[in-house]
Amino acid sequence: MALNYQPTVWERIGGPWAITLRAYLWTAPIGVFFQPIIEPGFWSGQENFFVWITVCALGYLAFGAFLVFANKFLIPNREIKSASVIMVLIVAVIGGLIRSSVIGSAIPVFGLTGIGAVERVPFSALITVLWIATSSLIMDSKYRYRTQLDELVTEQIPLLESQKAYLSNFAKSIPAGTKSDFDKSNFQLQNVFRDLAVKASVSGPSWIPVARQAYQTVMSLIFVQRRPRRFSELAGSEFIASPRDAFNIISRTPLLNIPLVFSSYVVMLFLAAARILPITEAALSLSIGLLVNLLILIVGKKLIQRSKNDSAFGYLTMFAVLVLQAIIGPTFSTASYISVLELQVFALAATVIEIIWIVTTGLLQISQVNRQKLIDQATGENELLRLEIQYWETIAQSSATTDYSPTETLDLIASDLRQFLDLDQPHMCRGAIECASSLVSEVKLIRSSIDQFSIESEFERIISTWGQEADILWTVSGAINPESVVRRAITLIEISILRSLRNGGATVISIDVANSGTVSEVTITDNGLEHTGAGAALGIEILQELSSNTWTQERTGGVNKVSAQVSA
């Protein structure tokens, strides 16, 4: 069953994880603990807290037994087809009534005083509806996500096996090739990728995903040090955000849903107060307290939004103010039927529930966003893998009578991409780009233990590649930089050379690299026509990312001048 990870609240309530024993076990202990606090008899001072816990536990055990029965017989097979929301709500309400009836009937049996079973009906029905809404959101978010991940992993594993089988055909041939041949094929591909970006800038939305894919491929191949790991190869800890990360995100971007939190708080407060207080006498003070509470939530959220700190200080401050309100507010009460201490305990219990709601709504929203991103990523990976396998099949058919080497295969891919570009076939490019990315990555990984990498050898390759189109002069000064910095600098230089040749028609290009520590200062000048604003925006985006947004280009003294700082 393919699951949609963006279901409505109604789909969640009717889905396979609402009103389950699993959801019950997550929430029943909290209910058993807090139930006595809203019982009038609990405040008499004559009744034992543990006896109350026992009575409430009996009610919740009956509730759980009914849910097991209902899940099997009244709303079965929800993993195949969602149940009617009305039916689920009816089941929930009946379960709540059973719980309240057991508690109400057990109160006199255990020598306690409290509201009877009939009087509990309105409060019980509403609380159970709130419970099902909350538990449905939480449980569905957790288990629907897990099911979706398992489906995507199951789909991806055979695709990866097919990809590795195709790549293994080239593994033995890669060491036999020469570095210069591989470099030539690789940069022919990069040249095509740049033209794809240019095509996207003038050809409409159909080419934009292709250009974005080419951009991501270029960036990932610059620093390839190991085979790229797909979603199905990651450990769970690598794609599930830790609670600390989630709380840090929430603290910077307060995701509490104020209408949901406050409306639930209002309902809980008034109905629970009606169990202890004469509501006609308490209505005014409760209304004032609620307005103050709402103001605290709104102001607290605004302050957290404006804060740039990566800590939960804003949230803790808001929670502290809510707790202080619960402590200070009851001191203004003139009621004679209940002590200030009892009111404070009651208010603190309501505040604890409110804080739980604040945290829960934030975690639900951030987990929804993060999990959807991951599912989109995995879905995209699977789609590209399918397209890559399809393209590998076309290569296998072409090589039935020809034993293609890795370099010849890369040249074939570049030729195909050029043809797709000329024929305006963006849908054909994606599998070829992914195929090229996998093969180039395999080549780089195997050749890295064979070939010696240096900036001098890279400049020699650049001159042999582009020297027929322009005179390229270069100087390097300073200490040797780490390989990661050199790779960034070389890629930036090559893209700049392409811009000078294609956009400016340059015949002389001068390159100066000044190394200092882990930073390379790159200056490139050419004698071509002015081209500061020409070319694809995606190419400039790559240049800015390589240089941490220090890349600049200007026209001065009749020449084009590029400056950039490249660091680790």
Q: In sequence order, which residues have a C-beta less than 8 Å from that of residue 177 and are 6 or more positions away?
A: 405, 406, 407, 443
Report the pLDDT value the prediction gives residue 2, as an integer from 0 to 100: 46
Half-sphere exposure of 2 (CA within 13 A, CB side): 4
Residue spans of alpha helices (H) in 110-223: 121-171, 179-203, 208-222
- Describe the chain by its helix, strand, coil percentages, rounded to 5: 70, 5, 25
Q: Which of 151, 142, 145 is nearest to 232 (CA)?
A: 151
Q: Cα(252)–Cα(255) distance, rounded to whole angstroms?
A: 9
Residue identified by tokens 């219990």 is 349
DSSP string over 25-76: HHHHHHHHHHGGGG-GGGGGSSS-HHHHHHHHHHHHHHHHHHHHHIIIIIS-
Q: From first to last of the 568 residues of the chain, give the pLDDT tens digit.
A: 445 667 787 888 898 888 888 888 888 888 888 788 777 677 676 888 889 999 999 999 999 999 999 988 999 988 888 899 899 989 988 998 999 899 989 999 999 887 777 878 777 887 788 788 878 887 887 788 888 888 888 999 999 999 999 988 888 888 888 877 887 888 788 888 878 877 877 787 888 888 888 888 877 777 666 677 788 887 766 666 666 666 666 666 777 778 778 777 777 677 666 666 666 666 777 788 888 988 988 888 888 877 776 566 778 888 899 999 989 988 877 666 677 887 788 788 888 888 887 887 777 777 777 778 888 888 999 999 999 999 999 888 876 666 678 888 999 999 999 999 999 999 899 999 999 999 988 888 888 767 777 778 788 878 877 788 899 999 999 888 887 888 888 889 988 888 898 888 999 999 999 998 789 999 999 999 988 776 666 778 888 888 999 999 999 888 999 999 998 7
What's the Rg (C-alpha) of the chain? 33
Question: Which H/E stretch holds residue 560?
Answer: strand 559-567
What letter represents residue 455's amino acid?
Answer: I
Whole-model pTM over 0.75: no
Q: DSSP 3-state assignment of 129?
A: helix
CA distance 486 to 479: 12
Distance CA 324, CA 322 (A): 5
559-567 and 552-556 strand pairing: antiparallel
Query: What is the Cα–Cα distance from 552 to 540, expressed in whole angstroms?
Result: 10
Tell me phi and psi for residue 540, to 5 degrees: -65, -35
Fold for 455-567, please state it: Heat Shock Protein 90 (3.30.565)
Q: What pLDDT, on the 0 to 100 scale, is given for residue 1? A: 40
**What is the domain partition of the chain in residue ranges?**
1-168, 169-241+381-447, 455-567
Please state, in angstroms and rounded to a whole number, the distance separating the CA atoms of residues 108 and 125. 22
